[in-house]
Amino acid sequence: MKKYSTRSLFILLFLDIIFIFFIESLSWIIRFRIFPKREDIFWAILPFIIIIRISYLYIKGFYKNSFSSILEILFRSISNITTTSVIIIAVTFINRQLSFSRLVFLLSWFFTFFYIFISRLFVFLIYKSKKENFIILGDEKSVNRVLKEIVNSNKFSGIIKGIISDHKRRKTKILKILWKTSLKNFLKKPDRFGADAFLLVMDNLSEKEKTDIVSLLDRLNIPYYIVPTFYEIITGKVEPDPITGYIFMEPVSHPIRIEERFLKRLFDICFSLTVLILFLPVGIIISILILITSGPPVIYKQIRVGRYGKPFIIYKFRTMVKNADKIGPVLTQKNDNRITTLGKFLRRTSLDEFPQFLNVLKGDMSVVGPRPEVPEIVKTYTDIQKEVLKVRPGITGLPQISGRQDLPLDVKLKMDLNYIKNYSFLTDLRIILRTAFSFWKTRGAF
């Protein structure tokens, strides 16, 4: 469970780069009996080898404390090095100028596997030997349930340092606990309890109490893990922690994995370029019509809140009279008399949204994601609702294909949170396809 520190990560990353360079050099020397010369193809392909090896190690969790056994380290190391070796061979096959001895590849595979396996085994054994101190926090019934489970399980290797709960009984006979205190005392000064992490067992607490506790720990950057209920275990994606052997649900700093973010961003760029090129003639016609009917400016700019709460300027074709923000509310209302005749058509068909593909290319937005809101609305978000700010906002999303402005804000945010939690690239494709049909309906478009 215990994560690598930033310093440990950099040390491990540095060692991997050094050893990969050493291994490739050693493989070359064994094959050709000489250190590679400046003009040798070795120096041209070495950067590709290092980038491919390191990137795949990162994607597959080799820079996290995520191994549960020695056998898992063995099999994952074999799989990782074999896959990256195939990728490297494919690169050299495509570009024949980068190809060199097969024996070098074979030696490189063996030495790299040996290094990765030994290095991760060494780190695994060090972290395995360290016992973590935990504090259990939650309601009395849930805390007692977890304490009994820990006692009856031989797999839990951590140390329960204390309990934070409104227990009616002063003594806990289940385990020898060092101390106990109430939830009220915890909320007053949460950072005074020394432990590696909190275990949250809040089955019977109200939603507000749960939100207050989690938000407080997040705000103070205090590590915590959630002990799932039986229902969450059989329906959710939860696995035993590799260090303690106990089942935890771990909060994530970013809800979408790095390889998914890379694919999503690559798709955003390609899709946006395609749409902008194909739409250019229509965009020119719309621009001319706006100039003829209501004059400049053609593009409407507004400040919205993007990923991590960073403001950015969103682009749209102007659909309202000039200075509309100064003569009416910030948000558009039904039957808003500030909307021009052409603007009504653009809004009904959602053609006014197309300049936002420029925002996608800039990196402010994604094709699919939560809709970006104005700062005034974001200020009203609860701590849980602010989770939508962890990803890039999108041109379209689940609310846009389910009712658009007809849906209340809290409903739209729940749908966006559900999208983020269950993200997949296929979901993005489905939303885009459904958007292509729903954009031409007038329901919720004003």
DSSP string, 351-366: GGGTTHHHHHHHTS-E
CA–CA distance, 9 with 28 (Å, rounded to integer)? 29
How many CA atoms are closer than 13 Å to the CA of 125, on its beta-carbon side? 7
Is residue 398 within 8 Å of residue 369, measured between CB atoms? no
325-345 tens-digit pLDDT: 666 555 565 666 778 888 888
CA–CA distance, 423 with 434 (Å, rounded to integer)? 16
Kindly tell me if the per-residue pLDDT of 311 is higher than 90.
yes
How many CA atoms are closer than 13 Å to the CA of 202, on its beta-carbon side? 20
Residue with tokens 């209501």: 294
207-232 tens-digit pLDDT: 777 777 777 777 777 777 777 665 55
CA–CA distance, 359 with 307 (Å, rounded to integer)? 13
pLDDT band at 320; cut points 50, 70, 90:
confident
CA–CA distance, 144 with 418 (Å, rounded to integer)? 31
What is the reported pLDDT for 194? 66
Name the amino acid, one letter, at 279.
Answer: F
Domain coordinates in residue numbering, the chain: 6-129, 133-248, 258-438
CA–CA distance, 174 with 157 (Å, rounded to integer)? 16
Q: Which residue has the higher pLDDT, 446 or 332?
A: 332
Is residue 383 within 8 Å of residue 215, measured between CB atoms? yes
Burial degree of 374 (CB within 10 A; 0-12, 13-18, 19+): middle
Is residue 137 within 8 Å of residue 198, measured between CB atoms? yes
Q: Please give the distance of CA 386 from its chain centroid, rounded to a whole number.
A: 14
Name the architecture of domain 133-248.
Answer: 3-Layer(aba) Sandwich (3.40)
153-211 tens-digit pLDDT: 666 667 777 777 765 554 544 444 545 666 666 776 666 666 677 778 877 777 777 77
What is the reported pLDDT for 277? 92
Kindly tell me if the per-residue pLDDT of 444 is higher than 60.
no
